Amino acid sequence: MDLLNTLVDKGLRRELPTREEALAVLSTSDDDLLDVVAAAGKVRRHWFGRRVKLNYLVNLKSGLCPEDCSYCSQRLGSEAGILKYTWLKPDQASDAAAAGVAGGAKRVCLVASGRGPTDRDVDRVSDTIKAIKENNEGVEVCACLGLLSDGQAERLREAGADAYNHNLNTSEATYGDITTTHTYADRVDTVEKAHAAGLSACSGLIAGMGESDEDLVDVVFSLRELDPDSVPVNFLIPFEGTPLAKEWNLTPQRCLRILAMTRFVCPDVEVRIAGGREVHLRTLQPLALHLANSIFLGDYLTSEGQAGKADLEMIADAGFEVEGTDQVTLPDHRAAGGCHDGGGACGSEGGGVCGSGAAPEASEPRTAADARTDLVAVRRRGAGTDLAPNA
């Protein structure tokens, strides 16, 4: 397929595809799916080999959020039966992190619900970061605390944070449809604050909220322009008790196409399969490893994930290897910091429109009648409980 050959060539050169090419990937047929995975896999292997980076989530403060993000089980007004608790103490968070590191995680992601941290919250998280770093040699720590105020990113970096996560989630045009208590511009501002403070920026999306192909391409192109080092691709977990509980729009095949499109647009960044992979990719999860070079190990913030042991077996059975703490995740040109010059997308030479031709129509998305609510399990173990974590 000429389209895929073109996209592979561009991916190996870090050249930005055209919007038409990205949309064509999302429109490929199921008959062409393995060709799409193989093509994007060439780009993934060129930049990241067969390594898979493991990340582990610690929910520092669960529920009780004043924001109204429609997709979130912790939102204002959520009726989802999730765990609710206030801040974990630094030693509690460090113990939770240690379980993930023992399971093979290279990065620990510290998350707290809320609009954004107070200065006291930053102090609290700084103490937690220091405790984790003292007890786990070589571990990376990423903070995800919401919208940042001036100076807070610098303080987190001084405390030892390596990265900061704040997702764009969806396109700017449709952002107001899922959240009204803050804006898309607020999110962009926080990612830029993380960049400016010297933190590795992590920002991604959520697929499956009823968005169009154009919305998906818009947000991934916006991410390319923001130039984060890692791009988590979440697949909506439709929690009962949230406004998007009936949004069952994804098939495993569509999830793979979304990951492939993300890889082609962001060829040399850490593409992470994040929340919802078990719910929507299901038995096709191993194929997704040919597209993404990073996953979360075990459970998520408020939902249960695949058993950590099963994650490790899946990686090995698919012919991949867990990335060690002594290995650098990013390619040399990114790890050296050469891509964050504020001048737009890294390695973007623009490029003209390559005549890829019209793509075949994709299969029909799932409907509410196909909902797999049996695969949505609320987390009842790990952080905030007396039960052992899944790692």
The residues annotated as belonging to the active site are 65, 69, 72, 109, 142, 202, 272
For residue 84, the tally of other CB atoms under 10 A from its CB is: 14
- Cβ atoms of 289 and 81 within 8 Å: the answer is no
Q: By CB neighbour count within 10 A (0-12 exposed, 13-18 middle, 19+ buried), where does 2 fall?
A: exposed
Question: Which residue do the tokens 């510290």 mark?
Answer: 110
H or E stretch covering 51 = strand 51-61
72 is in an annotated binding site: yes
266 is in an annotated binding site: no
What is the rounded distance in angstroms from the CA atom of residue 70 to the CA atom of residue 76?
Answer: 9
Task: Using the CB atoms, write b or e for 310-337: b if 16+ within 10 Å.
Answer: ebbebbeeeebebbeeeeebbbeebeee
- Cβ atoms of 162 and 140 within 8 Å: the answer is yes
69 is in an annotated binding site: yes
339 is in an annotated binding site: no
Q: Which amino acid is at 378?
A: V
144 is in an annotated binding site: no
Which alpha helices (DSSP H) does 64-199 contain, by range? 90-102, 119-135, 152-158, 175-178, 184-196
Question: To 10 degrees, the CA torsion angle through 158, 163, 164, 166?
Answer: 170
109 is in an annotated binding site: yes
Coil, strand, or helix at residue 93?
Answer: helix
142 is in an annotated binding site: yes
* Residue numbering of the annotated binding site for [4Fe-4S] cluster: 65, 69, 72
* Residue numbering of the annotated binding site for [2Fe-2S] cluster: 109, 142, 202, 272
* Residue numbering of the annotated binding site: 65, 69, 72, 109, 142, 202, 272
